[in-house]
Amino acid sequence: MRRPALYSSSLRSPASGEPVLDGERPEAQAAPAPESAPAPAVADTAGTPPASRLHRGLRLARRGVTPALLLCALTLGGLGLWRPVPPRLTQDEVDAAVKHTLERVVLPSSAARAAAKVGPAVVRVTAYGKEDRRKNGKYKEKEPGEIERGIGTGVVIVDKGVILTNLHVVAGADHIRVTFFDGLESAASVTGVQPEQDLAVLQAHQIPDDLEAATLRSTADLRPGDEVVAIGFPFGIGPSVSSGVVSGLKRGFVSPEGKTQLRNLIQFDAAANPGNSGGPLVTMDGEVVGIVTAILNPTQSRTFLGIGFAVPIENAAAAAGMPPF
């Protein structure tokens, strides 16, 4: 059966050409006034008979529109169109608001933000080995059990547990263990070395589920005076953070024993001590530009005097078989 067509309220009566309201039948319209009594140009609502007003009200009610609803719609529509214009702030008012906020809120330093960004990728590296013990002035045979031979630092460069550190931290170790930021401790194996840069690559046997690798950054735009952060485990304490600046580039260093000669190093003055070896040298963006490898101290104390050295990350990444920048 065919469904009747639906029409909008804009249809016109074929007889009069006037709009026909929904639900209003054409035959229900008033008959044209006699010629002897033409309709006035302006309708006199005061003189409209009550029956006509009632008829109009019924027609509006039939369409679901009441004067109260119509008034509400007009009021809400007016409110929707009206939007208060916020006052425009002057530059002095903006500056005063910023100054007020800075006086009340203590923001973290750039060094703290950099350390927080790279922190989850920093690990403690511990080398273990056996020891010859003396008894009555003579050496005994090696006893079972191993002791801690050295502590250093490493940085995760691949989230599968690939770690960069210094070769002198793990050289001669019988086994190596790394401790991640969440406290997880795992055995690790040496998978690559670069003796000329004092670098070693480790692979952790177990890693945290949410392990993050550090972001590496080229040293091409590094300049003396740039702020840097050194993170590590000096004397086993850490992770510890120290900040300073790049003091120079393309420096050379010869180990006190004369066994190692390193070139093309980054010189920095952020505090570093034994245990920082293998840790990251980080920019204020939290990106690694070098691996801390040595400190210069002409005395026998082996403590920091203000000059530290780091291997540029380009060399360090090459030791891990990563493509250059």
pTM for this structure? 0.66
Of 198, 240, 243, 269, the catalytic one is: 198
Tokens of 27: 């035959």
Known active-site residue 10: no
Lowest mean pLDDT among 1-10, 63-72, 153-162, 302-311: 1-10
The secondary structure element, H or E, covering residue 64 is none
Lowest mean pLDDT among 75-89, 128-142, 179-193: 128-142
Tokens of 225: 């005076």
At 299 the pLDDT is 82
At 8 the pLDDT is 42
pLDDT digits (tens, 9 = 90+) for 113-146: 999 999 999 999 999 987 654 444 443 444 456 7
Known active-site residue 198: yes
At 67 the pLDDT is 64
At 215 the pLDDT is 94
Of 52, 159, 277, 285, the catalytic one is: 277
Known active-site residue 109: no
Q: Is 80 exceeded by the pLDDT of residue 58?
A: no
Q: Which long-range contacts (CB under 8 A, 24 or more apart) does 253-257 make?
A: 253/294, 253/296, 253/309, 255/294
Task: Read off the pLDDT of each residue in 279-305 and give the average, rounded to a whole number.
Answer: 92
Q: Which stretches of the chain are DSSP H helices?
A: 50-62, 67-81, 91-104, 110-118, 167-170, 313-319
Alpha-carbon distance of 232 to 277, in angstroms, equals 7
Q: Is 60 exceeded by the pLDDT of residue 241?
A: yes
SS3 313: helix
Lowest mean pLDDT among 106-110, 185-189, 269-273: 106-110
pLDDT digits (tens, 9 = 90+) for 256-280: 766 678 999 999 999 999 999 999 9
Closest Cα to residue 49, out of 38, 57, 60, 59? 57
Percent of the chain with pLDDT over 90: 50
What is the pLDDT of the chain when averaged over all its residues? 79
At 304 the pLDDT is 92
Say whether the peptide bond before residue 274 is cis (omega within 30 degrees of 0). no
Q: Is 80 exceeded by the pLDDT of residue 319?
A: no
